[in-house]
Amino acid sequence: MNHIYVNIYIDKVKFYIVYYEQNEKRKIKDDEIILPISFSTGDKLFYIKKLISTVIDQYNIETYNLEVDNDIGVEIVDAVKMEGVLEELFSSKGVILWK
């Protein structure tokens, strides 16, 4: 089973993918997506949704964890929007929340 951890920051989204199988745990990918400064909020949301969608398909992701950086401050509104877009994406792709 492949699992993705996603951390939302003001200017980037970090993620890593882990393979879990019974007693085995192996990190497959550890990367980040830098959000272009010139993008509007809508463009950033579309950009991140498209890239994470590709990652889900490419790595056959089955479960996810999603976190927002604690020090995000006043940009919390944009972070919440991004979190909502990613929640919707995971749901539409059949990826379930890891508990």
Q: Based on the structure, what is the number of domains in the chain?
A: 1
What is the C-alpha separation between 90 and 75, in angstroms, rounded?
23
DSSP codes joined into one string, 54-98: HHHHHHTEEEEEEEE-TT-GGGHHHHHHHHHHHHHHHHHTTPEEP
Residue 52 sits in which domain range?
Answer: 2-97
What is the C-alpha separation between 22 and 75, in angstroms, rounded?
39
pLDDT at 37: 92
Residue 66 has pLDDT above 70, yes or no: yes
What CATH number does residue 33 fall under? 3.30.420.10
Residue 74 has pLDDT above 70, yes or no: no
Residue 10 has pLDDT above 90, yes or no: no
Backbone conformation region of residue 57, classed left if phi is above 0, alpha if psi is from -120 to 50, else beta: alpha
pTM for this prediction: 0.87
